[in-house]
Amino acid sequence: MNLENLTHNLKTIKAQLKTAHLVAVSKYSPREDVESAYHLGQLDFGENRLSDLQEKADYFTTQNLLNVRWHFIGNLQTNKVKELFKVPHLFAIHSVSSLKILEEIYKRIDSFEGLDLKIFIQINTSHEDEKSGLETKSEIKEVFDYIKNHPHPKIKLFGLMTMGSIRSLDFQKSAHQSFFELQELKNQLEKDYNLSPLELSMGMSQDYLIALEYEASFIRIGSAIFK
Ligand SMILES: *Cc1c(COP(=O)(O)O)cnc(C)c1O
């Protein structure tokens, strides 16, 4: 894409986000655009497919772009966790969406080469069937009990993640509902489990300004940057 547009988009969005972190979702973009963004100072990138992530992360390594931080934001299958852990400069997984995936992460963590792996627990706040994520109180309790009972130096419970509605006719209203629900859950879990403050990964191109009203701290934006 045109470098002028990329520069403008990044600058405009960063100014809106203030202290929240921008995860530039590079899933639609060729690696050249991702590389350009990196040279403009954007170091956090999100990918939702393991094969694309591997391809881009390997490219970054061969180009010596070593300050990059990769965020995996897609649906994760248990049989892919081991491979995901081999990705150089993997920083966080935003999509830990079941106890099964969490258990697999603990099982495979010794093959993770970084210092620590940051995990976000994905919550399905819009209650759409096609979305992954924990939905019920008992599912949430199960996962947080598990983490509490399995302290591990390489696994850092970092925050919660959600997506606004993709189907709703009134996406703004449902975004407010989803993000409010995640913020409430964060406050409750911090209290119940005596946790240090959790980060909130929420907000995409169409609803990130709404997410900022609810303490979003990691914003995942793709098309508004790389269009
Ligand atoms: C694609 C994607 C985004 C970014 O979507 P845009 O609408 O392009 O900003 C954010 N989060 C997840 C999980 C995604 O899959």
pLDDT tens profile 130-161: 789 999 999 999 999 999 999 999 999 999 99
Model-wide pTM > 0.85: yes
The tens digit of pLDDT for each residue in 40-82 reads 999 999 999 999 999 999 999 999 999 999 999 999 999 999 9
- The separation between the first and the last C-alpha atoms of the chain, rounded to the nearest angstrom, is 8
Query: Of 43, 22, 73, which Cα lies nearest the Cα of 217?
Result: 22
- 181: its two tokens: 């629900």
Alpha carbon 158 to chain centroid distance? 10
Is pLDDT at 96 greater than 80 in this prediction?
yes
- Give the residue-averaged pLDDT of 28-51: 97
Q: Give residue 90's pLDDT band: very low, low, confident or very high (50, 70, 90).
A: very high
Q: Give residue 165's pLDDT band: very low, low, confident or very high (50, 70, 90).
A: confident
Which of 25, 128, 225 has most ligand 1 atoms within 8 Å of its beta carbon, as the pocket-test mutant?
25
Is pLDDT at 171 greater than 90 in this prediction?
no
* Closest atom of ligand 1 to CA, residue 73: 13
